[in-house]
Structure 1
């Protein structure tokens, strides 16, 4: 016989499944070959590892450092 904890677990699992399905349904954008900031080529390994990347590793790191300064 199921109790309230079982019902709660089923509800949580259903919501997790729905969230994962929604995430998988999002369109995947191809990575750019050239960095939008500096124009240098983005290495193939980075383009494959980070789907949809638009910056080279150096520009991305700089962008994240600048972003953390203004996030506070």
Structure 2
């Protein structure tokens, strides 16, 4: 695990559980949201690194563009 993911074991475990269920045929979508700088990107990168063979779609929202 990357040093960037200190104290993110629970969140990573939840995402890996979703990935495991998806691998078994259950459709899954995971939304990772939060304030800037809390490690969302690092968390998802670690998930992607640990789950080769998955298709991953990335999205982003600019807070200045929301109503």
TM-score clears 0.5: no
Task: Return the structure number with greater relative CO, CA threshold 8 A, min gap 6.
Answer: 2
- With structure 2 as the length reference, what TM-score do the two structures score? 0.28
* TM superposition score normalised by structure 1: 0.26
Greater share of helix residues, 1 or 2? 1
